[in-house]
Chains A and B, each alone.
Chain A
Amino acid sequence: MVTTINKGEFKSRNNLIATYLIIGGLVIAAMMVFGILMLLAQGGVLDLPPAAFYQFLTIHGTGMIGGAALAASAVMWYFLSNYVELSKKVFKLNLILSLIGVVMVIIGVFSFKYASAWTFLYPLPALSGGAWGVTGALLYLVGMLILGVGFLLLYIDTGRAIIKKHGSLGKGLGWDVISGKRAEKDAPSPTVVASTMVTIVNVSALTTGATVLIMNIINVVNPAFTFDPLLAKNLTYAFGHIFANSIIYMGVIAVYEILPRYTNRPWKSNRPFLIAWTMSTAFTLVIYTHHMLMDSVMPKWMLIMGQVLSYANGLPVLVITAYGALMIVYKSGVKWDMASGLIFLSMFGWVVGVVPAIVDATIVVNHVMHNTKWVPGHFHMYMGLGAVVMIFGFIYYLSKVDSSLQTNGLDKVGFISYTLGIISVSVGFLISGALSTPRRWATHFPEWMAPAVFGAIGGVLAVVGLTIFIIHFIRYVKVRGTAGSDLNEQKLA
């Protein structure tokens, strides 16, 4: 592991990583508060004006994905930089552009009342029914574009570094090993494989996102410029689906790196592993059409493929990654602490969240569950209990190897509180979905209120847990470097 860099560089790298994680963690916590307020409003407990509700909805969706992506990219960068030479300048630039983008989005939403939801479905940004004007729309859309450019630069850099070291992105995915030209023992590490996949899908997603953002921007400035709404929707969901999903594929790098250290069992790339990641790369790029199953004007074959490939996309995680995590932990004598506990929990969260996702990707089910609260039910599960937990598992790991900070009983309370909280939020959403409750509604009929209140209570528990995690992390930041070096990394094994 960290043998190629000296201690000074290690510390400086960790400072930047810590900054990413703190910003990401705080944004996630703040967005959770908006989530609770929305659930309370839907539950009839809080009297929130619709304008405020939809502004919260917009900032919640955008901020959660942005904050989690920022933190997850730090996880990926931290481990990938052990294998390839990444540019710290680009990493810093992404942070700066992200912050500029975030500020613009916040001003657009809260000062100029912009509320298109993160989906900014054309032509809603320009046709708000008088709710917001050109300035708000431009601040949001241009802010998103700047954020996207930052991330695009980051993934271009990871791609450059992988190509420089391994020869091509295909080799980064281990295609030469799959084809038998190279021995399994020389296969790229799981971190490189996952990073290559994320690079490929996110460069595509962000380019797609930038295209539809720019078209929306031109339409807002000059409404005479119009474009095809169905094309716009395809581009929006191709961008949103892939980018949101990439968070978990970046986060899982923490699982590949941390579990072997705790169990003393190697996690190496073999042929099935590499095939699974190639499948994930291909499927993640094309299955966004499961967001369009209720657009019957789409070519029918695309919609059927949306179902079939969504099912297939469950296979790599169910058969390879989750199975691998279970195997590596089973009878391993693993030392459970906050980091290993959260990492194991995150795999559970991912797998369990796949179930309602696959169910909803079934066309006949989607016909009566699309755009109900079933949808946030499944993604709160695999994002809240999967991706975000991977990030916080990594944070506890980092604080362990880079400081002498100890965890205490409070952290365990945080673990339990967060877990129960997110499960309650997700189950509340799923029950709402089963009751046909529409998503993205500022108010609910009385029949639909109870699960929303239940979810809000769960949300409070989750915020309590997350706050404890963040406090631990801030304590780490204050004392970081007190024990950090490659020696400490070895200490775990």
Chain B
Amino acid sequence: MVQTVAWIVSLIFMLLITAVFGFVAFKSKEKRDYEPIKKKWYKARTFYGATLVVVMLIITIYTLRELPYNQPVYGAGNDPTIVDVEAIQFGWKMSETEFKVGEPIEFHVTSTDVTHGFGIYDSELNLIAQTQAMPDYTNKVYITFDKPGTYDVLCLEYCGLAHHLMIGKIVITE
């Protein structure tokens, strides 16, 4: 799950940074000339900076390979089900709400009043996909459900006092 990876990666780097700051604070009581320290650590900085750039480049290339904006390539005879979604203070109007496992679906999401957020949650309340629901525009979510169950659609953009009550349902069957 992406969230778990994000949390673990963040935690590792945050702990690493904590260790570095802790080490420097620990070593701060010693007193040495600044010039040799500068010379040594400026050299190290070149290596550190270059490593950081390379790591960021690798992660960038890796994570940009598949974007949620890209329409999947559908096989012959496997056309997607287009679902028109209209957000309105404070509910969801969906042209269809029942789908099959493995059925490619495109949610075409818009709004008739203010900006809302179309967030799909699985039965364990994990967010699995989202897009913004904005008046005058249609954003798309491409998804194929691989597990049966009841999914919730929660509003993820603050839209007024009943924002947290704006919950829809999607049912996925085998």
- Minimum CB distance partner of B42 in chain A: A327
Could you say which residues of chain A place their CB within 8 Å of the CB of B56? 311-312, 314-315
- B69 pairs with A50, CB closer than 8 A: no
- Minimum CB distance partner of A344 in chain B: B25
- A436 pairs with B125, CB closer than 8 A: yes
Complex Cα gap A106–B98 (Å): 46
- A296 pairs with B139, CB closer than 8 A: yes
Min C-beta distance of A279 to chain B, whole Å: 12
The A interface is mostly helix, strand or loop, or mixed, namely helix
Complex Cα gap A233–B115 (Å): 9
Stretch at the interface among A27-35, A92-100, A118-126, A249-257: A118-126
| Number of residues from A at the complex interface, CB < 8 A | 81
- A127 pairs with B127, CB closer than 8 A: no
Could you say which residues of chain A place their CB within 8 Å of the CB of B20? 326
- A365 pairs with B60, CB closer than 8 A: no
Stretch at the interface among A79-87, A175-183, A354-362: A354-362
Could you say which residues of chain B place their CB within 8 Å of the CB of A124? 114-115, 158-160
Chain A 295-318 residues near chain B, CB threshold 8 A: 295-297, 300, 303-304, 307-308, 311-312, 314-315, 318
- A315 pairs with B53, CB closer than 8 A: yes
Could you say which residues of chain A place their CB within 8 Å of the CB of B155? 438
Query: With an 8 A cutoff between CB atoms, is B76 at the interface?
Result: no
Complex Cα gap A362–B131 (Å): 15
Q: Which of B27, B154, B157 contacts A121 (CB 8 A)?
A: B157
- B28 pairs with A336, CB closer than 8 A: yes
Could you say which residues of chain B place their CB within 8 Å of the CB of A365? 2, 6, 63
Min C-beta distance of A121 to chain B, whole Å: 5
Query: With an 8 A cutoff between CB atoms, is A238 at the interface?
Result: no
Q: Which of B130, B134, B139, B160 contacts A368 (CB 8 A)?
A: B130
Could you say which residues of chain A place their CB within 8 Å of the CB of B41? 323, 327, 330
Q: Which of A123, A228, A296, A351 contacts B68 (CB 8 A)?
A: A296
Query: With an 8 A cutoff between CB atoms, is A441 at the interface?
Result: yes
A-B contact count (CB 8 A): 220
Query: With an 8 A cutoff between CB atoms, is A39 at the interface?
Result: no
Complex Cα gap A362–B119 (Å): 18
Min C-beta distance of A25 to chain B, whole Å: 25
Query: With an 8 A cutoff between CB atoms, is B74 at the interface?
Result: no
Chain A 422-451 residues near chain B, CB threshold 8 A: 430-431, 433-436, 438, 440-443, 445, 447-448
Chain A 359-415 residues near chain B, CB threshold 8 A: 359-360, 362-365, 367-372, 374
Query: With an 8 A cutoff between CB atoms, is B171 at the interface?
Result: no
If the complex has contacts A230-B137, A323-B45, A331-B37, are A430 and B157 also in contact, measured as CB distance less than 8 A?
no
Q: Which of B10, B114, B127, B137 contacts A297 (CB 8 A)?
A: B137
Query: With an 8 A cutoff between CB atoms, is A294 at the interface?
Result: yes
Min C-beta distance of A478 to chain B, whole Å: 32
Q: Mark B91-125, 1 if CB is under 8 A from A, else 0.
A: 00000000000000000000001110101010001
The B interface is mostly helix, strand or loop, or mixed, namely mixed
If the complex has contacts A368-B128, A372-B127, are A434 and B63 also in contact, measured as CB distance less than 8 A?
no
Complex Cα gap A294–B129 (Å): 10
Min C-beta distance of B63 to chain A, whole Å: 5
- A327 pairs with B6, CB closer than 8 A: no
- B135 pairs with A129, CB closer than 8 A: no
Query: With an 8 A cutoff between CB atoms, is A229 at the interface?
Result: yes
- Minimum CB distance partner of B156 in chain A: A371
- Minimum CB distance partner of A58 in chain B: B158
Complex Cα gap A347–B156 (Å): 32
Query: With an 8 A cutoff between CB atoms, is A348 at the interface?
Result: yes
- B6 pairs with A51, CB closer than 8 A: no
Could you say which residues of chain B place their CB within 8 Å of the CB of A483? none
* Highest count of chain B CB atoms <10 Å: which of A131, A294, A336, A448: A294
Could you say which residues of chain A place their CB within 8 Å of the CB of B60? 307-308, 311
Could you say which residues of chain A place their CB within 8 Å of the CB of B34? 265, 328, 332
If the complex has contacts A117-B158, A307-B64, A371-B157, are A123 and B114 also in contact, measured as CB distance less than 8 A?
yes
Complex Cα gap A51–B13 (Å): 39
- A129 pairs with B130, CB closer than 8 A: no
Query: With an 8 A cutoff between CB atoms, is A319 at the interface?
Result: yes
Min C-beta distance of A236 to chain B, whole Å: 10
Chain B 11-49 residues near chain A, CB threshold 8 A: 13-14, 17-18, 20-21, 24-25, 27-32, 34, 37-38, 41, 45, 48-49
Other contacts beyond A296-B140, A330-B37: 6, CB < 8 A: A117-B158, A295-B139, A319-B49, A330-B28, A351-B17, A368-B126
Residues of chain A touching chain B, judged by Cβ–Cβ distance below 8 Å, are 50-51, 54, 57, 115-117, 119, 121-124, 127-129, 131, 228-230, 233, 265, 294-297, 300, 303-304, 307-308, 311-312, 314-315, 318-319, 323, 326-334, 336, 344, 347-348, 351-352, 355-356, 359-360, 362-365, 367-372, 374, 430-431, 433-436, 438, 440-443, 445, 447-448
